[in-house]
Amino acid sequence: MPFDVFISYSHTDKTVADTACAGLESAGIRCWIAPRDVRAGIEYAAGIMEGIDSARIMVLIFSSNSNTSPQVHREIECAVTKGLTIIPLRIEDTAPTEAMQYYLGAIHWLDALTPPLSEHVGQLVEQVKANLSVDPGSGAKPPAFDKPTPKLWSAGDEKKPGIGTLQWFGGNAALLALICVISALSVAVFLLWRSPTILITRTATFGGNGGVAFDDLEVNVGRTPVTAISVVVAANAEDTTQQVIGGLQVHWGGRSGPWRGTGPLAQPVPATEFAKNEKIGRVDVASGPYHFQTDDNVPPVWVSGLQIWTNVRVYVFGNMKFGRIDQCLLGSGDVLLGFYGRSGAAIDQIGCVIGKTK
């Protein structure tokens, strides 16, 4: 699968790298980032090479850590050799080493030295978009668009409707009324035709197959984007070392959906609200088999954690290090409308319901 951006960073700067990745992906820019995108079954170094080969741009999270990282130096050298555009995002005011200066001396840097990071990530998104809009090797600049010049009425133009026209209509009241009715109907038809159509897509569901089915779209009839979420994190009753997503509730402005799972009966929680400028770009789902006695002696698979990535921050609920991790990816213009899946005593299975205005 081709990617737009390869993100190079020191492991000590992972939080910043993840935030940059979330911001880029929320804008529809496909990112390769380790260790997430290293394919299972291949050597780590081979995975890095594969990622660089598949990208057009390298975003470097530059800090004192990456400045002295041999791994990052090798990634930059490989990117230069393969002709990738390199965009350094400087998060610390530190002078580059001689090796870094050799590769990056003539490159324009983006500074992210002052908070909030989200503003600098927004600038990074625009810079990456500008570079992606140019065909590789063409040397062309992003296209410019001519603005139409407004036409002004002058004395030499056609005659404006005058008072005589109004007097003529005044003497034909029935005709004027008919014209008004036709105009009103035309406007109504036009507005109906222009009403946006919301295209609904669903990701795969992740987790087990217990519980009963649920679908937030059944209650979100207005197709409103998710504005807040309430999540209950509970402990497995038969092994308290294991966390599980016990309950989940979605909110759309002033409306709330039903609780999924029975966890909230024992432990109600406040909602986590998303800011108006936040755009959800990805939802990670962790799930795995639990130590829990069942009639058929088959361990149940439940959802252990949710991780919601926006262009501003990353929200983590539950345990993201238990079991496997799957992803719901939202493209440019996509919005999260809710979730669907299965729930019982906990959230057994979950997937994302995504909307896009046509």
> What is the per-residue pLDDT across 5-53, written as a single tens digit (0 to 9) for each?
999 999 989 999 999 999 999 999 999 999 999 888 888 889 999 999 9
Q: Show the tokens assigned to 265.
A: 């009966």
Lowest mean pLDDT of 43-47, 105-109, 145-149, 209-213, name the range. 145-149
Lowest mean pLDDT of 4-8, 54-58, 189-193, 317-321, name the range. 189-193
- Residue 160: partners with Cβ closer than 8 Å, 6 or more residues away: 153
Lowest mean pLDDT of 9-13, 45-49, 145-149, 226-230, name the range. 145-149
Whether residue 132 has pLDDT greater than 60: yes
Q: In which band, very low, low, confident or very high, does the pLDDT at 169 lie, cut at 50, 70 and 90? A: very low
Q: Residues 141-165: what's their mean pLDDT?
A: 40
Note the pLDDT of residue 4: 94
Q: Residues 258-283: what's their mean pLDDT?
A: 80
Instruction: Return the closest-CA partner of residue 279 out of 116, 115, 122.
Output: 122
Note the pLDDT of residue 172: 60
> In the chain, which residue ranges form alpha helices assigned H by DSSP?
14-26, 44-53, 64-67, 70-81, 98-104, 117-132, 163-170, 173-194
Kindly list the structural domains of the chain, giving each domain's residue range(s) and its CATH number in brackets, ordered by start.
5-132 (3.40.50.10140), 199-357 (2.100.10.30)
Whether residue 152 has pLDDT greater than 50: no
Sign of CA dihedral 207, 309, 57, 62: negative
Whether residue 62 has pLDDT greater than 70: yes
Q: In which band, very low, low, confident or very high, does the pLDDT at 64 lie, cut at 50, 70 and 90? A: very high
Whether residue 72 has pLDDT greater than 80: yes
Does residue 222 or residue 164 have the better pLDDT?
A: 222
Per the CB < 8 A criterion, the answer to whether 2 and 53 are in contact is no
Q: Residues 82-110: what's their mean pLDDT?
A: 87
CA 159 → CA 154, 163, 165, 342, distances in Å?
10, 12, 12, 69
Note the pLDDT of residue 108: 79
Type of residue at 151: K
The SS3 assignment for 103 reads: helix
Whether residue 194 has pLDDT greater than 60: no
Distance CA 123, CA 87 (A): 11
Note the pLDDT of residue 261: 86
Note the pLDDT of residue 191: 54
Note the pLDDT of residue 158: 46
Q: What percent of the chain has pLDDT over 70?
A: 82
pTM here is 0.49
Mean pLDDT over the full length of the chain = 82
Type of residue at 218: E
Q: In which band, very low, low, confident or very high, does the pLDDT at 358 lie, cut at 50, 70 and 90? A: low
Note the pLDDT of residue 175: 67
Whether residue 195 has pLDDT greater than 70: no
Note the pLDDT of residue 88: 94
